[in-house]
Every structure is written in structure tokens, then in C-alpha cells.
């Protein structure tokens, strides 16, 4: 199965359909009047759909087992067909599109099985996804403007040439994948005054996103949080909490991180860990949803 441990759990919804076409008007009448010899077709098929929704991972090899937290099976009965609609919700790391289509298919097959003694011309058609919500696809376009970013690596050893930067380059690549233009990628030593200067210069230049990496630990030279806290106009603790919570699910050492997030004018300032692993996890925790900050600054509603 595909790796999903890096993903966040969010509310996921999917609606799928299947159409059961009959060849006799009497078949629809028998469904509605509940005179089909095998029983109440709509209710039996509904129960089958509920079972199918929960057993999808047992049938489709690449589907992840997930908690199905809501399932609805409804019908639209027309002159010569029944449209089956299945809606499924979950709060998880991956979507429920296949679960919804699987359930719709089983509902339709159950109807076929129950109706075939009275109608030999039944067909099942148009099994497809009607709608899906949730996951990163809902947050791809969270700002109308072209966003710019500056990435600043805080490290004595990298700035002196003793070590090579990887965390800064990882951040830059991640930002590019979201269509963000990298204005600057710079390495500086762990100096409080220098960190403050770089942040304020980037803000004055109109950079939307200023990301520092490194200096968020507990060593005597780790001063990035202190430097930024002194100049931030608004802290955004929810961003900080999201990064630590995400990391804590993967390593207990995440509780020692002192990542910082806040605003100076209209620029979002982030201080991320200096390790490549910490950087990747922090970025996965908050992107792309964090980009809604820029719409919020314009007065856009959260819905």
C-alpha cells in the first residue's frame, strides 16, 4: 500500500453513484410496493451497502483500513431506473472515494440479485464518484496572489563551511511544489541580532513567507525563537501546536522543539527545526493549509 504516515487526518467525504436500469415498468412498481419475491429490495440493498463500506479494505488490495464514521445509502427512483447514492465520511489520512464506489456497487449488485427472477433485462451502469471533499486537494489554491518566500538557515557550522545545508534546500523544494517563488536562500550564524535583521529586511521587501530553519533546540546557541519572539507582532500558536503535535506522533523528542510562528505586518514568519527530518515533518504538518493566512489577512472568511 502507498505510504500515508506523513499525511494529516482531516475530515474526508465522498459521494458515489450506481444506476440500476430495469427493462420492465412493473419492476419499478414491484420495488416500490415491496412485492419482489426475495423481499424489500431497497432495504436489503441498503444493509449490503453498509457492510460493503466497512469491508472495502478486505476486498481492494491497496485500500487502507480506515474508520468509516458515517454511511448513507439513498435512492432516486425514476420510470425505468434506480439511482443509488452512497455518501461516506471519515476523519483519517486518506479519502473514502473507493469505499463509496464499492458500497454503491454492492448495493446495485444486491438489487440485481433480488430483481433478476422478475426481470431478465437489468443492467448496472455509471458507477462513479460524484463528489469528494477533504485532504490537501481542498487547500491547493489558498491565495490568489503569487506568494514569495525567503529561507534562512541558522547554523554556526554551516555558515563556517564545516557542514553542508540540506534542511534549507528541502524547504525551498517543498515551497516550490506549492507554486511559491523562492526570493532568497541564505545561511547565517546563530546570532540573535542577525536573525532579527534578516526577518525585518525580508518583511520590508514584502516577502510573504519568511522561514528560518535551525536554532530551535535547547543548546546555548539556539536563539532563533528568542530573536523572533521579540519582533513578532502576532503569534499564531495554532501553527506551533500543529507542528509539535504532528512531530510528537512520530517521535517523543518533538516535545523539545521550540518552533515559532507569527506575523510581522503581512509576512508570515516561521522558525522550524534544523534537522532534515524535523523540517520535513514540520512542513507536512502545516502545508498547504497554513497558506490560508494570506487570505485571512485580506479579510476572507474561513469557510
How confident is the model at residue 141, as a pLDDT?
54
Predicted TM-score (pTM) of the model is 0.72
Residues of the chain with pLDDT under 50: 302
pLDDT tens digits, residue range 105-146?
Answer: 999 999 999 999 999 999 999 999 999 998 766 655 555 679
Q: Is 165 a catalytic residue?
A: no
pLDDT of residue 299: 67
At residue 264, what are phi and psi to the nearest 5 degrees? -125, 115
* Per-residue pLDDT reduced to its tens digit, 207-229: 999 999 999 999 999 999 999 99
Average pLDDT, the chain: 93
Helix, strand, coil share of the chain (percent; to 5)? 40, 25, 35
Residues with Cβ within 8 Å of 162's Cβ and at least 6 positions away in sequence, in order, are: none
| pLDDT for 143 | 55
Q: Are 71 and 13 in contact (CB under 8 A)?
A: no
Catalytic residue, from 58, 62, 113, 165: name it. 113
Length of the chain: 303
Angstrom distance (rounded) from CA 143 to CA 39: 54
Amino acid at each position: 500500500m502507498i505510504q500515508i504516515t506523513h499525511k494529516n487526518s482531516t475530515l474526508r467525504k465522498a459521494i458515489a453513484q450506481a444506476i440500476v436500469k430495469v427493462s420492465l415498468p412493473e419492476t419499478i412498481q414491484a420495488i416500490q410496493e415491496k412485492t419482489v419475491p426475495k423481499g424489500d429490495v431497497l432495504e436489503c440493498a441498503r444493509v449490503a451497502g453498509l457492510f460493503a463500506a466497512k469491508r472495502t479494505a478486505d476486498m481492494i488490495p491497496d485500500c487502507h483500513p480506515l474508520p468509516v464514521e458515517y454511511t448513507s445509502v439513498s435512492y432516486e427512483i425514476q420510470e425505468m431506473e434506480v439511482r443509488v447514492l452512497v455518501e461516506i465520511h471519515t476523519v483519517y489520512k486518506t479519502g473514502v472515494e473507493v469505499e463509496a464506489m464499492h458500497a454503491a456497487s454492492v448495493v446495485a449488485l444486491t438489487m440485481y440479485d433480488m430483481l433478476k427472477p422478475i426481470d431478465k433485462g437489468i443492467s448496472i451502469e455509471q458507477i462513479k464518484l460524484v463528489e469528494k471533499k477533504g485532504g490537501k486537494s481542498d487547500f491547493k489554491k489558498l491565495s490568489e496572489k503569487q506568494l514569495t518566500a525567503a529561507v534562512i538557515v541558522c547554523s554556526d557550522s554551516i555558515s563556517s563551511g564545516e557542514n553542508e545545508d540540506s534542511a534549507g534546500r528541502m524547504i525551498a523544494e517543498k515551497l516550490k511544489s506549492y507554486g511559491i517563488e523562492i526570493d532568497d536562500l541564505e545561511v547565517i550564524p546563530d546570532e540573535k541580532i542577525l536573525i532579527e535583521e534578516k526577518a525585518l529586511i525580508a518583511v520590508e521587501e514584502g516577502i510573504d513567507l519568511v522561514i528560518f530553519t535551525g536554532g530551535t533546540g535547547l543548546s546555548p546557541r539556539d536563539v532563533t525563537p528568542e530573536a523572533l519572539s521579540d519582533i513578532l507582532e502576532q503569534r499564531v500558536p495554532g501553527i506551533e501546536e500543529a507542528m509539535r503535535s504532528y512531530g510528537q506522533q512520530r517521535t517523543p523528542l518533538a516535545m523539545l522543539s521550540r518552533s515559532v510562528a507569527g506575523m510581522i505586518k503581512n509576512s508570515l514568519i516561521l522558525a522550524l527545526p534544523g534537522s532534515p527530518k524535523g523540517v520535513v515533518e514540520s512542513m507536512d504538518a502545516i502545508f498547504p493549509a497554513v497558506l490560508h493566512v494570506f487570505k485571512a489577512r485580506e479579510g476572507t472568511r474561513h469557510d
